[in-house]
Amino acid sequence: MTAYLVRRLFYGLLVLAGVNVLTFALFFFVNSPDDMARAQLGAKRVTPEAVDKWKRERGYDKPLFLNEKKSGIERVTDTVFYTKSVQLFAFEFGASDQGRNIGYDIRTRMWPSLAVQLPAFVIGLLVYISFALLLAMFRATAFDVAGVVACVLLMSISSLFYIIGGQYVFGKLWSLVPISGYDGGFEAVKFLALPVLIGVASGIGSSTRWYRSIFIEEIGKDYVRTARAKGLGELRVLFGHVLQNAMIPILTGVVVVIPLLFMGALITESFFGIPGLGSYTIDAISQQDFAIVRAMVFLGSVLYVIGLILTDISYTLVDPRVRFS
């Protein structure tokens, strides 16, 4: 099993290398640093001096892959590719195009993101699975049909409207919570309540339906018929057999997103003014700060790769059939 995990780890590193090359190509081949400088400086008639200054300050004036002017190891290290891409592997994110330290920003901003995402994730999981089990229990009845119709209706509403509606009803109409903002410590609860609630609510439709379809598929299998033939009650069948066996498809979808909780939710954070990584990314996009976007792309894939490896580990925990060779 260790050998398998080591192999997965190396594969993960290979994937990250691919992501790195891809983002590098996207950011430096589609447009040259000159183009980016001109787009950032705004006006059409920027002087060549201003462009050169912008590039020098941010280290984009180096050659892309090979620095002919330097000797020894610096021929490779004193290049855009090394300083901007390879160093991401050491989590050296460098400075943003505005001159801020990206690594520091990420370290401070990931906690508010997690404070919204983790409760939303845990509560959401419990709510969705309970609803789905309930629908599965009453499958093929009017209750089930109504539940599925409600799910389709809920998943047809844009996530933007969940946020707008929630802010309007809870924040403005009933004044239960502040509309936006954030505070450290215990005060954070009143700012977090609504984003968490909305995070859970906006996923109810699609997630409940997804879990329900997993349960329904399990219920159709032979071992369930055997369990019934032995005279087990509906509840024992659902909780003792179906839920356990549905863990594999559930884990496949769930474990992989756990590390990504650090990244935050783009839209929610920006609507609620939560100083997390999601709003950080949105701000970077609107300010066209390419360094931050590059860093976030890399961070996102690192977390995803970690999620994949965690998924592999979780299989061994719930399914004795999964044997690694």
The secondary structure element, H or E, covering residue 46 is none
Say whether residue 300 binds another protein (CB under 8 A). yes
Shortest Cβ distance from residue 33 to another protein (Å)?
11
Kindly tell me the number of DSSP H helices and DSSP E strands found in the chain: 16, 0
224 binds another protein (CB under 8 A): no
Residue among 238, 256, 235, 295 at smallest CA distance from 109: 295
260 touches another protein by CB under 8 A: yes
Q: Does 23 bind another protein (CB under 8 A)?
A: yes
Give yes or no for residue 126 binding another protein (CB under 8 A).
no
The reply to whether 31 sits near another protein by the rule CB under 8 A is: yes
Non-local (6+) Cβ contacts of 243 within 8 A are 133, 215
- Pick the piece of the chain touching another protein (CB under 8 A) from 91-99, 115-123, 185-193, 289-297: 289-297
**Residue 167: CB minimum distance to another protein, A:** 7
Find the length of the chain.
325
Task: Determine, following the binding rule CB under 8 A, whether residue 117 of this chain makes contact with another protein.
Answer: no
Applying CB under 8 A, among 1, 13, 18, 66 the residue interacting with another protein is 18
Residue 185 CB, nearest approach to another protein (Å) = 27
SS3 304: helix
**Selected binder of another protein within 14, 50, 146, 176 (CB under 8 A):** 14
Contact between 245 and 218 (Cβ < 8 Å): yes
Give per-residue burial for 142-161: e unless 16+ CB within 10 Å, then b. Answer: eebeebbebbeebbeeebee
Distance from C-alpha of 277 to C-alpha of 111, rounded to nearest angstrom: 9
Binds another protein (CB under 8 A): choice among 77, 98, 159, 316:
159
User: DSSP letters along 203-220, please?
Assistant: HHHHHHHHHHHHHHHHHT
Pairwise CA distance, residues 60 & 244, whole Å: 54
Contact 208, 135 (CB under 8 A): yes
Nearer of residues 16 and 114 to another protein, judged by Cβ: 16
CB of 201 to another protein, least distance (A): 15
Q: Kindly indicate which of the ranges 27-35, 53-61, 101-109, 183-191 contains the residues binding another protein, using the contact rule CB under 8 A.
A: 27-35
Q: At its nearest, how many Å lie between another protein and the CB of residue 255?
A: 15
Q: If binding means CB under 8 A, how many residues of this protein chain bind another protein?
A: 50
**Cα–Cα nearest to 132, from 144, 123, 146, 117:** 144
Note the residues at the interface with another protein (CB under 8 A): 11, 14-16, 18-19, 22-23, 26-27, 30-31, 35-36, 38-39, 44, 152-153, 155-161, 164, 167-168, 172, 220, 260, 263, 266-267, 281-282, 285-286, 288, 290, 293-294, 296-297, 300-301, 304-305, 308
